[in-house]
Amino acid sequence: MIDKSDLWIIIIAMGIGSFGLRFLFLGLVGDREMPPWVLRHLRYTAVAVLPGLVAPLVLWPAATNGQPDPARMAAALVTLGVGYFTKNVLAAIFSGAATLYLGLFLLG
């Protein structure tokens, strides 16, 4: 169970932090240039964080008590493939969901 005072600390800190990140350059830097090495690292934040977040959820799903599950792995691979080749987020979500339900239906 999530502790309520922790929850509010997290909501408030994330609100301030998210706004701070969005406002950082637009509001404070103005038209000044940023060092290229900073931009070069910022370019890869999303692809460096999201895959690392997802990998354990795919390998060890909580719903199966951490046991690797073929239906969920197949769904993850199909979602990634469709997303990569079509560049279409919605198509990837629907293909992945279809694969998951088909897998759960066939493999029980």
Partner 1 sequence: MPSYYDRSTYLRGVKDGLPFILVVAPFALLFGVVATEAGLTVFETMTFSAVVIAGAAQFTALQLMNDNAPTVVVIASALAVNLRMAMYSASLTPHLGALPFWRRAFAAYTLVDQSYALSTLEYEKNPDMTLAQKTSYFFGVITPVLPNWYLWSLIGAMVGQSIPPELALDFAVPITFIAMIGPMLRTGAHVAAAFVSVTCAILFAFLPWNLGLIVAGVVGMMTGAQVELWQERKSGSEDAS
Shortest spacing between CB 106 and partner 1, in angstroms: 14
Residues 52, 39: Cα–Cα separation, whole Å: 21
Our finding on whether 106 is near partner 1 (CB under 8 A) is: no
Identity of the residue, 30 or 67, whose beta carbon is nearer to partner 1 in the bound complex? 30
Tokens of 52: 């690392």
Our finding on whether 35 is near partner 1 (CB under 8 A) is: no
Our finding on whether 70 is near partner 1 (CB under 8 A) is: no
Which amino acid is located at 93 in the chain? I
Our finding on whether 31 is near partner 1 (CB under 8 A) is: yes
Our finding on whether 27 is near partner 1 (CB under 8 A) is: yes
Q: Judging by beta carbons within 10 Å of its beta carbon (0-12, 13-18, 19+), is residue 108 exposed, middle or buried?
A: exposed
